[in-house]
Amino acid sequence: MPILFLVIILGIVEGLTEYLPVSSTGHLILATELAGFDAERWALFNVAIQPGAILAVVVLYWRTFRDVIVGLFRRERSAWTFTRNVLIAFLPAVVIALLIGDIIDLMLESAIIVAWALIIGGVAILIIEKLAKPVECAGVSNVSFRQAVGVGIAQCLAMIPGVSRSGATILGAMSLGVDRKTAAEFSFFLAVPTLSGATAMQLFRHGDTLAEGMIGWILIGSLISFLVAIIVVKAFISIVTRYGFAPFAWYRIVAGTAALVWLTLR
């Protein structure tokens, strides 16, 4: 398979799955395996194209980010609580990444872990959807300190490839009483510092291993992921508001099972 074709596929997969509760990292690992490429060699590329998906949230929610920045200077309570909640939810992932970064890198090379995580995560989504009793919060600034801490702890589970960062944060928020729409938007906003930090850390630690010409491929993959993520983020809120997360749960179970069978038989 030509490298350009793989780059296009990985860019689409990143943009399509980063904000859905189906695990972008897991899908990128499986896509690389299916294409017959060395998953370890492309692991850094999969992280490096995340800025495209990050930019999609910044563009779509630019008014929110603008209002928060202006509100911080004006000392508006809602702006400060918004910022507090995002930072509090971000910090646990920073601590865990610094403590067990090498273990995380090893897991990124395992497609088997991805397959099992997809299945288990799908079952967890169905259970939480049934048991959770969320209350309307009307925005991230109205999420409590306790709920923000819980979301941050839940996000740490996403360091296991296949768990899904968005799935862990959204379902974690809902289990703590946050409504679907606010939980999804919290996950979007939390993605900005989390994915930015993960990308910067991986490039700092392993940037010297990038193959010659990889920077150009990363730029192409990032552009594709940005364009696809723009479409996905806009559609996601309306889908989960109307249908919930069950369709994504069943997709995870089917995809994980299929991947497990393929990996076992190949």
Given a contact cutoff of 8 angstroms between Cβ atoms, the answer to whether 187 and 195 are in contact is no
Q: What is the pLDDT of residues 69-95, one digit of tens each?
A: 999 999 999 999 999 999 999 999 888
Of 84, 50, 82, nearest in space to 66 by CA: 82
pLDDT band at 158 (very low <50, low <70, confident <90, very high): confident
Structural domains counted in the chain: 1
Which residue range forms the structural domain that includes residue 192? 3-265
- Report angle CA 223, 52, 37 to the nearest 5 degrees: 75
| pLDDT score for 40 | 63
In terms of DSSP H, where are the helices of 132-179?
Answer: 145-156, 165-175
| pLDDT score for 106 | 61
Q: 122 — phi, psi (to 5°)?
A: -60, -45
Distance CA 202, CA 105 (A): 9
Helix (H), strand (E) at residue 34: helix 24-34
Output the six-digit token pair for 47: 């992280």
Give the residue-averaged pLDDT of 170-193. Answer: 89
Q: At what angle do helices 180-206 and 145-156 cross, to 10 degrees?
A: 50
pLDDT band at 29 (very low <50, low <70, confident <90, very high): confident
Output the six-digit token pair for 13: 């997969």
Q: 108 — phi, psi (to 5°)?
A: -65, -10
Q: What is the pLDDT of residues 193-241, one digit of tens each?
A: 988 887 887 777 766 666 666 788 888 999 999 999 999 988 887 887 7
DSSP 209: G
What is the average pLDDT score of the chain? 84
| pLDDT score for 60 | 92
Of 166, 200, 211, 142, nearest in space to 57 by CA: 166
Q: Of the spans 33-42, 56-65, 129-138, which averages the highest pLDDT?
A: 56-65
Q: Which residue has the higher pLDDT, 207 or 147?
A: 147
Name beta bridge partners: 178: 135
Give the residue-averaged pLDDT of 95-118. Answer: 73
Output the six-digit token pair for 210: 């990038």
